[in-house]
């Protein structure tokens, strides 16, 4: 099966990440981490909009109010696109200059789950990151430690399981998840995808509970069964894909962001769409992502 990906617009990100579909606005939100920018692209052909921030924009989620929960370098806050206002909820690892917030997603519990990564520039990265749960009161709970690059957050359609990956591991874990409390338990490693199919980056789940993960080091979009079996691997027209997202009114489109910085000229010549968000008709229906309960 070949997915026919086409550019969503002509906006070229340095490090595109975090696509989120907004059904109320029929729009795709995504960020450019390095350029410190938030993007919004209506899917009906409307005009693209963007907002700049004072630090890296690691990930985003939708709020019940229509606002967005946004992870900056070491702050999680609420952004109102109507007036451009940003209200801080919590600081995370703001005393550690070697880490920054990275992949995040709203969980079935209505909280924002977001992880940190080693951003020191050393190679290989050290396991100094962690995964956190942030609620609307600003309470922060540290859930998982010893992470190199926290990534790949996604939840099963019934809200009872959480996928979580470490790009630097590389590995993908599955947890039991309690949507009433946000408690996680029974951690098990389901896959260790390497450079051959692509180390795991951002991810999304479909309506059947399968896990679609960007294989950042191989240019692939990989579909895993809940037990970690690789079901499909789709070559993409971009180098270094970073995260997929199901969207469109019926969640039968799939969008993928990608990383442009650091790609050699010969790679960019072969994959000129790198950095531009791409979209295709999906062979499956996506699983809806919850909204942050911001009161």
Average pLDDT of the chain is: 98
* CATH level 2 (architecture), domain 6-281: 6 Propeller (2.120)
Q: Residues 9-22: pLDDT tens digits?
A: 999 999 999 999 99
Which of the residues are catalytic?
201
Looking at the DSSP assignment, which residues form a beta bridge with residue 38? 31, 51
Please give the distance of CA 153 from its chain centroid, rounded to a whole number.
Answer: 7
Q: Residues 139-151: pLDDT tens digits?
A: 999 999 999 999 9
Half-sphere exposure of 226 (CA within 13 A, CB side): 14
Residue 228 has pLDDT above 80, yes or no: yes
- If we measure between CA atoms, which residue out of 217, 212, 213, 214 comes closest to residue 195? 217
- If we measure between CA atoms, which residue out of 24, 21, 58, 61 comes closest to residue 41? 21
Q: Residues 275-291: pLDDT tens digits?
A: 999 999 999 999 999 99
Q: What is the pTM of this model?
A: 0.98
Domain-wise residue ranges, the chain: 6-281
Tokens for 53? 């921030």
**Alpha helices, DSSP H only, in 204-287?**
265-270
Q: Residues 78-112: pLDDT tens digits?
A: 999 999 999 999 999 999 999 999 999 999 999 99
Residue 295 has pLDDT above 90, yes or no: no
User: C-alpha dihedral over 70, 53, 260, 264, to 10 degrees?
Assistant: -130
Asked if 8 and 277 touch (Cβ cutoff 8 Å), the reply is: yes
CB atoms within 10 A of CB 160: 14
Phi/psi at 125 (5° precision) = -65, 150
Q: Is 268 helix (H, G, I), strand (E, B) or coil?
A: helix
Confidence label for 45 from pLDDT (cuts 50, 70 and 90): confident
Lowest mean pLDDT across 43-47, 105-109, 130-134, 194-198: 43-47
Tokens for 138? 């600003």
For residue 239, the model assigns a pLDDT of 97
- If we measure between CA atoms, which residue out of 117, 9, 4, 40 comes closest to residue 71? 117
Residue 1 has pLDDT above 80, yes or no: no
Confidence label for 2 from pLDDT (cuts 50, 70 and 90): confident
Contacts of 171 (CB under 8 A, 6+ apart): 165, 189, 191, 192, 200
Please give the distance of CA 71 from its chain centroid, rounded to a whole number.
Answer: 11
For residue 18, the model assigns a pLDDT of 98
Asked if 5 and 237 touch (Cβ cutoff 8 Å), the reply is: yes
Half-sphere exposure of 160 (CA within 13 A, CB side): 3
* Rounded to 5°, angle at Cα 288 from 186 and 220: 75
Mean pLDDT of 161-186: 98
For residue 99, the model assigns a pLDDT of 98
């Amino acid at each position: 099966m070949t997915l026919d990906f086409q550019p969503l617009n002509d906006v070229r990100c340095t490090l595109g990440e975090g696509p989120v579909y907004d059904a109320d606005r029929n729009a795709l939100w995504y960020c450019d981490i390095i350029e410190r920018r938030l993007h919004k692209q209506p899917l009906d052909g409307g005009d693209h909009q963007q907002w700049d921030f004072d630090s890296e924009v690691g990930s985003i989620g939708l709020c019940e109010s229509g606002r967005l929960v946004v992870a900056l370098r070491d702050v999680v806050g609420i952004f109102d696109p109507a007036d451009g206002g940003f209200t801080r909820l919590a600081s995370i690892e703001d005393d550690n200059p070697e880490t920054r917030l990275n992949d995040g997603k709203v969980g079935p519990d209505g909280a924002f789950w977001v992880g940190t990564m080693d951003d020191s520039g050393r190679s290989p990265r050290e396991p100094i990151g962690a995964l956190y749960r942030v609620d609307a009161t600003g309470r922060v709970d540290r859930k998982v430690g010893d992470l190199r690059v926290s990534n790949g957050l996604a939840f099963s359609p019934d809200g009872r399981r959480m996928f979580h990956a470490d790009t630097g591991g590389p590995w993908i874990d599955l947890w039991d998840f309690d949507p009433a409390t946000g408690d996680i338990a029974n951690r098990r490693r389901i896959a260790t995808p390497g450079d051959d199919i692509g180390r795991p980056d951002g991810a999304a789940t479909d309506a059947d509970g399968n896990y679609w993960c960007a294989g950042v080091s191989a240019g692939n979009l990989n579909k895993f069964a809940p037990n970690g079996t690789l079901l499909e691997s789709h070559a993409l027209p971009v180098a270094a894909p970073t995260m997929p997202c199901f969207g469109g009114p019926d969640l039968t489109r799939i969008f993928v962001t990608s990383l442009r910085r650091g790609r050699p000229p010969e790679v960019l010549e072969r994959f000129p769409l790198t950095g531009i968000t791409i979209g295709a008709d999906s062979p499956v229906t996506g699983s809806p992502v919850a909204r942050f309960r911001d009161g």
